[in-house]
Structure 1
Amino acid sequence: MDRMVYTRRHLDALLDEVFPDLAAIALEGAKGVGKSETARNRSASVLALSTAAGRNAVAGNPQVILELPRPVLIDEWQLEPGVWDAVRDAVDVDSTGGQFLLTGSAGVQPGVRIHSGAGRIVSLSMRPFTMFEREREQATVSLHALLHETVRKLEGHTDLTVGDYTDEILRSGFPGIRELPSHARNLQLDSYIARIIEKDLPENGALIRRPAVLRAWLSSYAAATASYTTILDAATAGESEKPARQTVAQYRDHLTRIFVLDPVEAWMPTFSPLKRLGASPKHHLVDPALAARLVGIDRQGLLQGDGATPSPSTGSWLGALFESLVTQSVRVYADIMDAHIGHLRTKDGAHEIDLIVEKADRTCVAIEVKLADTATDRDVRHLHWLKDQIGDRLVDMIVITTGPYAYRRRDGVAVVPFALLGP
């Protein structure tokens, strides 16, 4: 990608703020999210360990990093783990800000030991393009403002429809994939999935005895909000011999380690009157376009509601993937404001809320995602239940829709078209 057409990312604003004061930052995330380009855009020199020349340069002498003009980008650092310790040691000697950027799409292989970077190397996560970064609309509603301020009046209009959001799901948020023509894009997504199974996982220490079962498990995981047993049964329908729970747990751990799985953990509020909350994470892949390719559903199928319903709460594949698309953006917005996200579900299933965004002072906003152009009383009932439970800790209630207008309902709930929500 030409630097002249570089798309500024949300992470850039955070790097502008903190990199002058931090000596070393590691940018972590799935392959293809744009880590290298973002780091390269602010580096004076690049050491690319994805190349033989780069690896050879540091294999025998990791201290070569001290000879390069700074800031130094060390790309795919985990391919020569000794460079991590070299950066750590360099920062021990000189902690001046703005020296090193490390990028990686996985940790080091099992059995390879590195020293902790705590206090020397700060890790930041990077994900695919948010809706705001896709530049489909000018955002008129700020999640930061909703969480930190009292925002009564909401405004804004968008012409985006369900069809447009479906297109965004299928186009992907990977910068190098989303601008391709449809057929080429699908081939790239298929190749991305195949590479995960055939190359990335084995290179990171995973033993894949039955690749077809792993792919089927990924397909079942893609849009599911279900138990281990439900996902496994869907992945191995008709097979009497199923992978052991330990094997599937290893699939999950390795896929999370290379940032392909991006689950939302259950919200567990501290010092809260809430009891009997579920502890299971909600399943999401790093990009809903991968989920659509894994389950084999296209634009027409999504809009027509084809295929089995992935879960009662989302109602359709399109509903599940729209929720995943929204979640992808909201968690990036939360990261840059130093907030955390979770989902809420009571153990009896009586109450569910898609996303809770919580600040360090324990105040939060609650978000429901609805594949609809408006918000009904039924859509907001769980938000009001939570307000009754935790009172002023819940500073705002939001329903994200596919509709045209941002507004507040008479009961105070913010109704926000997804295209109009920004950081």
Structure 2
Amino acid sequence: MVTYRGRVVDTELDELLPSLAAVAIEGAKGVGKTATAQRRADSVYALDNAQQRELLAADPGRIDRSTGTVLIDEWQRYPAVWDQVRRSVDRDPQAARFLLTGSAIPTETPTHSGAGRIVQVRMRPMALVERGICEPTVSLRELLTGRRKPLEGESAIELPEYVEEITGSGFPGIRPLPARARRAQLDGYLARIVERDFAEQGHPVRRPATLRAWLTAYAAATATSASYNTILDAATSGETDKPAKTTTITYRDVLSQLWLLDPVPGWLPVDNAFARLALAPKHFLADPALSARLLDLTSDTLLSGTTPGVRVSSGTSMLGQLFEALVALCLHVYARDNEAHLQHLRTRNGDHELDFIITGPGGRIVAIETKLAATVDEQDLTHLRWLKSKVGDLLADAVVITTGRYAYRRPDGIAVVPAALLGP
């Protein structure tokens, strides 16, 4: 029997369920939604099972008669159940009645959004803190307070281990496997997207190779704000018969419905002195291991710096982009736990960029730069200092996330934190 490893989202569910009648946990296939929900459920309807779908369709009142917490797994397979749950909550709003899990936005939209009845919670692949590789000593929650306390902590995780975390995956069912088996599972995951998931979303793929090439180009654009036209051009370089723009928009939309794209939007402060901010999102797939697999990058090739056939963006190495993707996954998870939002900053002329901006309750921000190195130099701090000059006390903290060993606060107040030592 596989031992359940606690997830950051467990805290959110523990806080929500005692007060709410219905919660929907949503995210890409394989992130662990069912395992997390089953621990809280007294009964389960698995709607990827045709017989159980037929059971609810034949007797919609069955869920009303259930006692305890009812888990409706893969609810998008029978979208009518969403409205059944909503109506049941209208009749009886007692807390912790329903948990729903979904790995896709259904093509047959429910008649009601569920607003006010069903609260939606996003679950992602495992962040570093959930993988148990190191005990975190720095809390995002504390950084958001603006108290700027001294930091401490030592991590045994170095660059080779971070590369293993990039290629090893945050999907809990894939992560424990030996390296070759992991690669085979990731290949199968990607093949299912192309061959089955698009069709299940109502968009059969007529040219699978083109979709695969677009996904690969998107992976190569990891941590950049490249335009979708640029991604299309990279995917179809040398081809005269390119897919229509509407086709690639469909790719993006369906992958979003499957929770496989996890972009970081541009920062748009409500009240600030900025005149020109670029709002294009930075591109990330749900798990950096998917990007590495699409680009045929292993731990060895990433560490050796050999990335044959990969077009490197803006002179940065692909390893740097994938490390930023690993950090983005962690920050998404930690920000949600703090009811905060993850964004990035880039001015339109590109003279100032910050990898991540986390906006907490009340509007105060933590600005974050990532660096694929163990040490920090003055050049790494330029944009953090520029932002401080622009927003003043709105900046709760400024952080450089590294692959180093030690967490500390510099004399100028800027925090230096190894990725493995940061937690929610």
1:57 to 2:58 alignment? no
CA contact 1:78–1:104 (8 Å) conserved in 2? yes
State the one-letter code of the partner of 1:419: A
CA contact 2:167–2:288 (8 Å) conserved in 1? yes
Structure 1 position 311, deviation (Å): 2.0
1:189 to 2:190 alignment? no
Q: Residues 162-200 of structure 1: CA distance to partner in whole angstroms, max 9, x if unpaired? A: 000000111100000000111111100000000011101
Aligned length: 419
User: Which of 102, 113, 117 in structure 2 is aligned with 1:116?
Assistant: 113
State the one-letter code of the partner of 1:310: V
Q: Residues 268-313 of structure 1: CA distance to partner in whole angstroms, max 9, x if unpaired? A: 1111111211111000000000000001111111112222453227
Match of 1:158 in 2: 155
CA distance in 1, matches of 2:54, 2:180: 38
CA contact 2:345–2:353 (8 Å) conserved in 1? yes
Unmatched 5+ stretches in structure 2: none
Change (3 A) 1:113 1:19: closer
1:376 to 2:377 alignment? yes
CA distance in 2, matches of 1:223, 1:118: 37
CA distance in 1, matches of 2:80, 2:22: 15
CA distance in 1, matches of 2:13, 2:228: 38
Structure 1 position 69, deviation (Å): 2.5
Match of 1:245 in 2: 245
Change (3 A) 1:216 1:36: same
CA contact 2:272–2:391 (8 Å) conserved in 1? yes
CA distance in 2, matches of 1:217, 1:370: 28
Change (3 A) 1:329 1:91: same
Match of 1:327 in 2: 328
CA contact 2:28–2:286 (8 Å) conserved in 1? yes
Structure 1 position 67, deviation (Å): 2.3
Residue identity (%)? 53
Structure 1 position 53, deviation (Å): 2.0
Match of 1:399 in 2: 400
Match of 1:386 in 2: 387
CA contact 2:146–2:395 (8 Å) conserved in 1? no
Structure 1 position 234, deviation (Å): 1.2
State the one-letter code of the partner of 1:339: A
Report the secondary structure of 2:379's partner residue: coil
CA distance in 2, matches of 1:22, 1:360: 21
CA distance in 2, matches of 1:115, 1:408: 49
State the one-letter code of the partner of 1:408: R
Report the secondary structure of 1:380's partner residue: helix
* Equivalence map 1:6-405=2 (5 Å): 6-110=4-108, 112-224=109-221, 225=224, 226-307=226-307, 308-312=310-314, 315-405=316-406
Structure 1 position 233, deviation (Å): 1.5
CA contact 2:25–2:33 (8 Å) conserved in 1? yes
CA contact 1:342–1:357 (8 Å) conserved in 2? yes
CA contact 1:363–1:395 (8 Å) conserved in 2? yes
CA contact 2:220–2:311 (8 Å) conserved in 1? no
CA distance in 2, matches of 1:48, 1:310: 43
Structure 1 position 152, deviation (Å): 2.5
CA distance in 2, matches of 1:166, 1:114: 45
CA distance in 2, matches of 1:219, 1:309: 11
CA distance in 2, matches of 1:209, 1:113: 28
| Coordinate RMSD, CA, aligned | 1.2
CA contact 2:80–2:110 (8 Å) conserved in 1? no
CA distance in 2, matches of 1:18, 1:95: 14
Unmatched 5+ stretches in structure 1: none
State the one-letter code of the partner of 1:245: K
CA distance in 1, matches of 2:327, 2:84: 39
CA distance in 1, matches of 2:172, 2:144: 29
Structure 1 position 250, deviation (Å): 1.2
TM-score, normalising length from structure 1?
0.97
CA contact 1:81–1:114 (8 Å) conserved in 2? no
CA contact 1:284–1:324 (8 Å) conserved in 2? yes
Which 4+ residue blocks in structure 1 deviate beyond 3 angstroms?
A: none
CA distance in 2, matches of 1:37, 1:264: 27
Report the secondary structure of 2:86's partner residue: helix
State the one-letter code of the partner of 1:396: D
Structure 1 position 28, deviation (Å): 0.3
Structure 1 position 319, deviation (Å): 0.6
CA distance in 2, matches of 1:15, 1:53: 29
